[in-house]
């Protein structure tokens, strides 16, 4: 036996004045209110009589005569369209034609007898056609698509055809955000990941990975993350200045920084602890021999940062590598051996 439809539940969010039909009296009525007590739920409707008076009519929550919930359903959507399931269609519902050939997204009824509706993104399989909007579709020719896989396939087809993400509230196609390599991006909490900030690494196929990724819960940046966001591009946006700073600050706490020119996470240059005239060993390349010198000053803007005294006090030569000369390092003088300490 088919389950009874609770029309009070269907009508609870409908506006006052919604047109309905009373089968018993063969009159159009308008929805007034729905009242609920400990013993019953009543759907109240009104209609104007021939002598211009307002008649109030009460129905059970199942649309039967009040007090007879198991009786004949006499409150219907309209005289012409009597299917409460179709009356309950909502904006964004995917409908399929009775022959299974075409699908369309329901937007709203075009007539107050609910026999005609407006839909968007109509696709016919046999005709291989797409029409963005149809205003005069017959309600009787469609029903709700219950197959979730078929619904998703249909939506995917619409999105691929129009090149964007389908918003099931506005029924419009929203273009996917296009991120450039190195953009700092925010992602909301999404299924398997927390809210996060990451620096986008754009692959050739358009999939986004990250140069660095940071969950806003942990605030710990992962400098070599392979995090991919290919499944939720529609939910991404550029990070705000405050969110960017949160990421930069977290990196700084780990002694790292983002270099937008080289697209790399780098360690902060270590602070020079040499003093003028300190004895040092220097070289420019790993294959060079360590040579002795006296430290002069540090230039952090250059790859060759360590200035040392050359020949006379008026000249300075800069070296890429510089280590202290002491009992632990004196054996390196004149060799190309690697220093095991902290350069």
Q: Where are the domains of the chain?
A: 7-76, 85-174, 184-267, 279-332
Largest CA distance in the chain: 119
Q: What is the pLDDT of residue 29?
A: 97
Please give the structure tokens belonging to residue 182.
């190195």
Report which of 137, 134, 139, 174 is spatially closest to residue 158, judged by C-alpha positions: 174
Report which of 200, 196, 178 is spatially closest to residue 187, judged by C-alpha positions. Answer: 196
Instruction: Compare 214 and 92 and report the one with higher pLDDT.
Output: 92
Contact between residue 28 and residue 47 where contact means Cβ atoms under 8 Å apart: yes
Cα–Cα–Cα angle for 171, 237, 199, rounded to 5 degrees: 145
Contact between 31 and 11 (Cβ < 8 Å): yes
* pLDDT score of 24 more than 80: yes
Task: Rank 47-56, 116-125, 188-197 by mean pLDDT and report only the highest.
Answer: 116-125
| Site of tokens 């690494």 | 201
Measured distance CA(81)–CA(76) in Å, rounded: 8
User: SS3 for 89?
Assistant: coil
Statement: residue 343 has pLDDT above 50: no
pLDDT digit string, tens, across residues 228-245 = 555 556 567 888 888 888
DSSP secondary structure of 320-331:
SEEEE-STTTGG
At residue 193 the predicted structure's pLDDT band, cuts being 50, 70 and 90, is low
Residue whose C-alpha is closest to residue 326's, from 297, 290, 300: 290
DSSP 48: E
pLDDT, tens only, 242-261 = 888 888 888 877 777 888 88
pTM of the model: 0.56
Residue 190: DSSP 8-state:
B
Q: What pLDDT does residue 89 have? A: 97
For residue 223, what pLDDT is reported?
54
**Using 50, 70 and 90 to split pLDDT, how confident is the model at 95?**
very high
| Per-residue confidence (pLDDT) for residue 176, from 0 to 100 | 65
Would the pLDDT of 227 be above 60? no
Q: E strands within 126-220?
A: 129-138, 142-144, 165-166, 173-174, 184-187, 196-202, 208-215
> Which residues on adjacent β-strands are paired with residue 196?
187, 215
Specify the CATH class of 85-174 in words.
Answer: mainly beta
Query: For 128, left (φ over 0), alpha (ψ -120 to 50), or beta?
Result: left
Q: Could you tell me which residues come within 8 angstroms of residue 160 by beta carbon, excluding any fewer than 6 positions away?
A: none
Q: How far is it, in rounded angstroms, from Cα 261 to Cα 197?
A: 20
Per residue in 121-174, pLDDT tens? 999 999 889 999 999 999 999 999 999 999 999 998 998 888 778 888 999 987
41: β partners: 36
Query: At residue 195, does pLDDT exceed 50?
Result: yes
């Amino acid at each position: 036996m088919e389950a009874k439809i609770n029309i009070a539940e269907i009508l609870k969010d409908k506006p006052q004045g919604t047109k309905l039909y009373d089968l018993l009296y063969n009159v159009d009525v308008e929805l007034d209110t729905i009242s609920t007590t400990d013993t019953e739920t009543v759907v109240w409707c009104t209609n104007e009589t021939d002598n211009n008076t307002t008649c109030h009519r009460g129905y059970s929550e199942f649309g039967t005569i009040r007090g007879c919930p198991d009786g004949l359903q006499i409150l219907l959507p309209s005289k012409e369209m009597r299917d409460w399931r179709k009356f309950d269609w909502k904006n964004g519902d995917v409908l399929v034609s009775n022959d299974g050939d075409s699908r369309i997204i329901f937007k709203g009824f075009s007539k107050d007898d609910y026999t005609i509706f407006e839909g968007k993104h109509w696709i016919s399989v046999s005709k291989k056609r797409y029409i963005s909007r149809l205003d005069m579709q017959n309600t009787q020719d469609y029903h709700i698509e219950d197959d979730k896989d078929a619904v998703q396939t249909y939506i995917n087809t619409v999105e691929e055809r129009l090149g964007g993400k389908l918003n099931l509230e506005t029924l419009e196609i929203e273009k996917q955000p296009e991120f450039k390599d190195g953009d700092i991006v925010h992602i909301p909490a999404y299924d398997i990941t927390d809210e996060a900030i990451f620096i986008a690494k754009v692959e050739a196929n358009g999939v986004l990975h990250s140069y660095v990724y940071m969950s806003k819960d942990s605030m710990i940046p992962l400098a070599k993350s392979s995090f991919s966001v290919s499944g939720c591009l529609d939910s991404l946006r550029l990070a705000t200045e405050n969110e960017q700073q949160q990421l930069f600050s977290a990196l700084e706490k780990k002694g790292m920084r983002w270099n937008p020119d080289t697209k790399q996470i780098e360690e902060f240059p270590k602070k020079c602890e040499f003093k003028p005239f300190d004895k040092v060993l220097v070289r420019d390349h790993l294959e060079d021999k360590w040579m002795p010198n006296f430290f002069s000053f540090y230039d952090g803007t250059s790859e060759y940062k360590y200035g040392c005294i050359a020949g006379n006090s008026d000249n300075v030569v800069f070296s890429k590598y510089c280590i202290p000369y002491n009992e632990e390092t004196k054996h390196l003088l004149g060799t190309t051996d690697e220093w095991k300490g902290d350069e």
